[in-house]
């Protein structure tokens, strides 16, 4: 066959036959591996931000429930703290736990599925972090430690966007008096709710 005839055949083949390409399973696996590689290179802060977005989406239809904090330990132990204006039930926490666990597992958020997940409400040993938590705990006894080391114990009587007022009880019997302390949020190191019997 002459060179001209060969070129004619090739030209005919290229013009009249085409081969559509589809994403093969191999391409899918390659893309998934690339996604996993990106996840594995994320630092803890980035992972926490992504998880916060996932949790916010999860609780969006429950306006009374809010996210307090997400923590990730080096062992991929994920802790999510949720609270609610009127308390969050154990059933609701279990529901959120199952939904988020399934999401993380199906999307291979942690390569190899090597992670554990706990969703709970903050315990009494956890300091208050959000203004919404302060409002929820008005009327309860608290211990406030300021950044300069000063400690105030008393009843939380109010909480605005910028400060709280804690009423301290001084003296006994007829000499007992209630002394209010106004503390700016910017000066607070920790605030914990106290249980008194």
Question: Which pLDDT band holds residue 22 (cuts at 50, 70, 90)?
Answer: very low
CATH code, 139: 2.30.30.100
Question: Which pLDDT band holds residue 111 (cuts at 50, 70, 90)?
Answer: confident
| Shared-domain flag, residues 47 and 115 | yes
Mean pLDDT for the stretch of residues 80-100: 94
Q: What's residue 77's pLDDT?
A: 96
Say which residues have a Cβ less than 8 Å from residue 174's Cβ, sequence separation at least 6.
none
Q: What's residue 175's pLDDT?
A: 82
Q: Which is higher by pLDDT, 114 or 38? A: 114
Domain boundary residue, one of 120, 144, 167? 120
| Shared-domain flag, residues 72 and 107 | yes
In which residue are the tokens 């239809």 written?
61
Percent of the chain with pLDDT over 90: 65
Lowest-pLDDT choice from 12-26, 39-53, 120-134: 12-26
Domain of residue 53: give its range. Answer: 43-120
Q: What's residue 174's pLDDT?
A: 80
| Shared-domain flag, residues 58 and 116 | yes
Q: What's residue 71's pLDDT?
A: 96
| Shared-domain flag, residues 60 and 115 | yes
Domain boundary residue, one of 97, 120, 143? 120
* pLDDT > 60? residue 63: yes
Mean pLDDT for the stretch of residues 118-140: 95
* pLDDT > 90? residue 25: no
* pLDDT > 90? residue 16: no
* pLDDT > 80? residue 3: no
Q: Long-range contacts made by residues 144-149, C-beta under 8 angstroms, separation at least 24? A: 144/183, 144/188, 144/190, 144/191, 145/188, 145/189, 145/190, 145/191, 146/183, 146/187, 146/188, 146/189, 147/187, 147/188, 147/189, 148/187
Q: Which is higher by pLDDT, 104 or 87? A: 104
| Shared-domain flag, residues 143 and 174 | yes
* pLDDT > 90? residue 146: yes
CATH code, 105: 3.30.300.20
| Shared-domain flag, residues 98 and 142 | no
Assess if residue 188 is contained within a domain. yes
Domain boundary residue, one of 100, 120, 140? 120
| Shared-domain flag, residues 49 and 108 | yes
């Amino acid at each position: 066959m002459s060179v001209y005839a060969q070129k004619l055949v090739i030209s005919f083949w290229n013009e009249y036959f085409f081969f559509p390409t589809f994403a093969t399973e191999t391409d899918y696996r390659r893309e998934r591996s690339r996604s996993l590689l990106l996840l594995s290179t994320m630092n803890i802060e980035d992972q926490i931000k992504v998880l916060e977005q996932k949790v916010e989406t999860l609780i969006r239809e429950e306006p009374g429930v809010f996210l307090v904090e997400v923590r990730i330990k080096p062992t991929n132990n994920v802790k999510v703290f949720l609270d609610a204006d009127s308390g969050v039930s154990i059933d609701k926490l279990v529901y959120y736990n199952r939904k988020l666990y399934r999401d993380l597992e199906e999307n291979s958020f942690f390569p190899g599925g090597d992670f554990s997940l706990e969703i709970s409400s903050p315990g009494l040993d956890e300091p208050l972090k959000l203004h919404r938590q302060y409002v929820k705990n008005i009327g309860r006894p608290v211990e406030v430690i300021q950044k300069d080391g000063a400690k105030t114990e008393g009843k939380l009587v109010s909480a605005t966007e910028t400060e709280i007022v804690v009423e301290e009880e001084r003296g006994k019997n007829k000499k007992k008096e209630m002394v209010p302390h106004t503390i700016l949020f910017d000066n607070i190191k920790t605030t914990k709710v106290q249980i008194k019997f």
